[in-house]
A and B are shown apart, each in its own frame.
Chain A
Amino acid sequence: MNQNLLLIIVLAPLLGSIISGLLGKQVGRMWSHRVAIAGVGLAFIISIWVFKLVVFDDQTYNGQVYQWMQVGSISFEIGFLIDSLTAIMILVVTFVSLMVHIYTIGYMHHDDGYTRFFSYISLFTFSMLMLVMSNNFMQLFFGWEAVGLISYLLIGFWYKKPMAIYANLKAFLVNRIGDFGFLLGIAAVLMYAGSLDYVQVFIQAPEIAKKTISIFSDVQWSVMSLTCILLFIGAMGKSAQVPLHVWLPDSMEGPTPISALIHAATMVTAGIFMVTRMSPLFEFSDTALSVILVVGATTAIFMGFMGLVQNDIKRVIAYSTLSQLGYMTVALGASAYAAGMFHLMTHAFFKALLFLAAGSVMISLNHEQDIRKMGGLRKYLPITYWTSLIGSLAIIGFPGMSGFFSKDLIIESEHISSITGHDFAYFAILISVFITALYSFRLFFLVFHGQEHFTLHNGKQLHEPSIAVRIPLILLAIPSAVGGMFIGSIVFGDFFDGVILVLPEHNVLAYFGEEYHGLVSFILHGLMTTPFLLALLGVSVAYIIYVKRPNIAVRLRQRFTWFHKVLVNKYGFDNFNDKVLAGGSRLIARVFWKIGDLTLIDGVIVNGSAKIVGLAARMVRHIQTGYLYHYAFAMILGVWLLLTLFVV
């Protein structure tokens, strides 16, 4: 594979970003978006070619672009590793990015920051590609932080909104807590493998797995467990797992296209990708896998519940994203990496679709986000309606839709996994199936069905937004519907052979591989399983409560006030973080400054010694009287003292 080809994939979006960012004023809006879209489009086309080379021609690539620095025997490099995992990621990233770029023309049409927005999303694409194409841990961290930066810039895109600049700071800080663990994990890798190059590190994994480290005196920890858990803390930040999930719902303050691109389809899945990439390490630590399993399952179920009580269209989808990320994480914990990756892919399509559809609804209604002020939009927005329906069916795992294949596989994997905590995980994600169906169709029905609760100003006609908005919806709806049909080749075939390592005792997917007899039987089988019944139940309940008998919803809320309160308060996470963590830090800060620096060091030591010197000087000054007989007396006294001491 030609390295220049790979360089074009990353550099084309970067160039687009630089031109639209630095020269936005000079080249104008039109050329800004043309350049940015051309860059990402080119990256997408080459990504298809690279995918073809990897998958059909069995080519891989692992090489250095340039040496960042060489210290002693350790080489820090910028380089690419292209295998099936990378190939599928760059395809997903560039495709969704391209859709979002096109959509932005319509969505951000009236915004003053038009060129700046294009610059940011192209820069994001560059960073995300660098992240997934990396062949070493350092560059991974580069991309990791760079996407975090752009997420920060984009959440705070409308920098006048107090909530937006609160949310972007929060997102950055919470992500940094994850990065804190991640960086320590990388340090552990360097310490025990002596290299940051993936291949070099993975070769040594079985050796590292035998080592122990003492962190608190005497207690020996498995190095591999420590390393993997530290790395996973990074994934928890980026992929918003409990308790580091708090930033994602607030990130909805950013413009909708980036909610689709960054906070649903690509960046938040970086953690999933990272763990999958590191499967040769994680496989050697059952402890780490258990942690992942439990964290993922907790996220899947508890975040899903919160989606039920939100009234902001974007926040409902955000909580749904959290819950779906929990699914992917759970899959990793059960060593069903391929299933996790497959869900990552299908989710990227249907979640980007749902967000962009939500954006379409919002533009039609003058940026209204409250679903209680919508309803009955089906007849006004047919394309948005049908694409949303496809997205919603996909997310609930309706047999045949893309989400069905990936989700069903994850649920079944939990069932037969042997990792500690798999029972809880199975139970949690099974319940989540019902919850997912309930909140997804609650949203769907409240927005598109029932009575019209919106009011239009100045006799404005309600209609579908511009073509730039509609095309991406349609193009994303296609893979959302049929993307699942590749399950045979991606998950059960030899697609990830040599890329993802699964130890034989963990290999749950192999079991399904033997059972797998083609798409049709898979779908037919799906029609008879519990998840399908639960999903149907969820949709039916949503239909009854929100379309047929809206008063049930009110009564339920009155009946379960306490539960509703817990959910509205987000289980107290935000309050705890604001009051205890942020407030506590500010308190410590003031105490350290006022007492430590000002009172003790400056007050007592510095100014104190100055005062003592001053005091001593004032006392000594009394001796300097200027009278000759005082000095003479002192001299006589001195001579006498010397004589008595030394002579006598």
Chain B
Amino acid sequence: MSDDLPLLSLAIWLPIISGIIVLFNGNNRLVKIVALLAALLTFIISLALYSRFDISIHAMQFVEFAPWIPDYDINYHLGIDGFSLPLIILTTLSTVIVVVAGWEVITRRVNEYMASFLIMEGLMIAVFTALDAILFYVFFEAMLIPLFLIIGIWGGANRVYATLKFFLYTFFGSVFLLLALLYLNHVVGDFSIISYQQATLTMKEQTWLFLAFLIAFAVKIPMWPVHTWLPDAHVEAPTGGSVILAAVTLKIGGYGLLRFALPIAPDASMALDWLVISLSLVAVVYISFVALAQSDLKKLIAYSSIVHMGFVTLGFFIIFRISSNYDIGSIEVLALEGAVIQMISHGCISAAMFLSIGVLYDRMHTREINDYGGVINTMPVFAGFAVFFAMANIGLPGTSGFVGEFMIIMAAFQANFWFAFLAATTLILGAAYTLWMIKRVMFGEVTNENVAKLTDINSREFIMLSSIAVIILVIGVWPAPIIDVLHVSVEHLLAQVSQSKL
């Protein structure tokens, strides 16, 4: 590839166009092959981005700029920094896995299924690369459509309720986002996110903007108490839908806070940090207990996702409380990088968990924990993976789950002893809900004849699960390659945040 290839546009439009092509093709086998090739190619493009990314500058890279609606100064403006890059790779990787996961399982409307995911992929990458507020908003909203269709068409019995709830919840949030973005345009005169970040705003303006962003992105993350759409959406979604939802869609909320709320309204972020910190800690403690009460596998993991995302928002906002006495900045960096790596890690682990549940669901067509028991007897290889992913889910050192939680707890202690205390309860509660589930599903004697008839994973499933397992392990053993990508962007964000706009 030559240097002047518009890699970002390629990463966005290659999957979208392939998706459209696939949509109008009736040959299931061909559809799957095209979809897989498109997903793989996009993944390779994202790796090319990584290899050419310059980790020493905070400015946007791979910038593309073209007027879109010149009358309103709305532009097709793309670019990435250290925050976007890992999330893009996460997106492209998840899509490959989702295509593989749906290979044999989806028999109905295969072309539409694959098309939805490919289009979704392009839109999500676009969200992570857009530097124009309207462009961002359009992709942010457009992304809902394929996800809505995925749950609505290939979902479970109660899918209509779930899709409506999901759609209304997130739509409710995005109204505030739109208002905030339009208001900022009114202040700075154009739609560039970079100029938004540089806008001078009064405390009152910042407060309203911050709250608008918070509502919009809190629904996506989701934060307590606007989280109840997630368990329902997951339960009804097909496996692939759950994987994308958990792995990538939730991250858009976190990304939004980093891109908009913190740099645009730093003073309000600081003044209202208690709010986000409290909500995050409620998410960690309260939701952990709720997860313990679940009897549905997917709901349990959905709640576990909310807990893990609570760490992300905690990491973002404790930076205002840290008063380090030996060297300025290191602990704030620790908190923010911990939060970002927690997003990446959660993307991998929750994807793996939902895929594992999918493996079971494809065979047994039930998600009730009580319908299982003793699966290890008939599916020993699968059980090995499941226990490994469970351990990653509870943040065992050596897996990616440890890295973010460790960094955030270390940083939280320096903000306030009790923040760290409450956050660290996840060590106990997370282990309780995850391993209790593993015990009931995997271990013991075979409890019923359906379990007795189970067959272990085939090679397609093996490749799918083992590749994520390897990634989880590698990040856990050596997180430096991801952390290094973040450094400069994190330091830049910290500089922005510490600079009062008043």
Complex contact A601–B397 (CB within 8 A): no
Q: Which of A141, A596, A601 gathers the greatest number of chain B CB atoms within 10 Å?
A: A596
- Min CB–CB distance A282 → chain B (angstroms): 20
- Min CB–CB distance A197 → chain B (angstroms): 14
- Min CB–CB distance A476 → chain B (angstroms): 31
A340-369 at interface with B (beta carbon < 8 Å): none
Complex contact A142–B331 (CB within 8 A): no
- Min CB–CB distance A123 → chain B (angstroms): 11
One of A42-50, A185-193, A519-527, A640-648 at the interface: A185-193
Q: Which residues of A contact B391 (CB under 8 A)?
A: 149
- Min CB–CB distance A264 → chain B (angstroms): 24
| One of A177, A190, A602 near B228 (C-beta < 8 A) | A602
Complex contact B290–A596 (CB within 8 A): yes
4 more contacts with CB within 8 A, not counting A160-B377, A169-B439, A184-B421, are A68-B479, A169-B436, A176-B428, A187-B414
Interface size on B, residues (CB 8 A): 59
Complex contact A71–B428 (CB within 8 A): no
B156 at the interface (CB under 8 A from A): no
Known: A597-B228, A601-B225. A191 touches B414 (CB 8 A): yes
* Chain A interface extent, by class: 35 or more
| One of A149, A153, A186 near B410 (C-beta < 8 A) | A186
Known: A73-B327, A180-B427. A592 touches B478 (CB 8 A): no
With the chains together, A179 CA to B442 CA distance in Å?
A: 25
Q: Which residues of A contact B286 (CB under 8 A)?
A: 592, 596
Q: Kindly report which residue of chain A lies nearest to residue B482, judged by CB atoms.
A: A69
Complex contact B427–A187 (CB within 8 A): no
A616 at the interface (CB under 8 A from B): no
A-B contact pairs, 19 of them (CB 8 A): A69-B480, A71-B333, A72-B329, A74-B330, A138-B406, A145-B402, A152-B435, A160-B443, A173-B435, A176-B428, A183-B406, A184-B409, A184-B417, A187-B410, A191-B414, A194-B326, A586-B292, A592-B289, A593-B293
B390-420 at interface with A (beta carbon < 8 Å): 391, 396-398, 402-403, 406-407, 409-410, 412-414, 417-418, 420
Q: Which residues of A contact B331 (CB under 8 A)?
A: 72
- What is the 8 Å Cβ interface bit string for chain B, positions 419-446, against chain A (1 contact, 0 not)? 0110011011001100110010011110
Complex contact A71–B409 (CB within 8 A): no
Q: Which residues of A contact B425 (CB under 8 A)?
A: 180
Q: Which residues of B contact A177 (CB under 8 A)?
A: 428
Q: Which residues of A contact B337 (CB under 8 A)?
A: 71
| One of B292, B431, B478 near A589 (C-beta < 8 A) | B292
- Give 7 nearest A-B pairs by CB, closest first: A72-B330, A187-B413, A589-B293, A589-B292, A194-B326, A593-B293, A142-B397
Complex contact B432–A585 (CB within 8 A): yes
A159 at the interface (CB under 8 A from B): yes
B300-335 at interface with A (beta carbon < 8 Å): 326-327, 329-331, 333-334
B376 at the interface (CB under 8 A from A): yes
Q: Which residues of A contact B431 (CB under 8 A)?
A: 172-173, 176
With the chains together, A149 CA to B435 CA distance in Å?
A: 11
Complex contact A589–B289 (CB within 8 A): yes
A576-603 at interface with B (beta carbon < 8 Å): 585-586, 588-590, 592-594, 596-597, 601-602
B483 at the interface (CB under 8 A from A): yes
- Min CB–CB distance A315 → chain B (angstroms): 22
A70 at the interface (CB under 8 A from B): yes
Complex contact B292–A585 (CB within 8 A): yes
| One of A68, A138, A145, A183 near B409 (C-beta < 8 A) | A183
A165 at the interface (CB under 8 A from B): yes
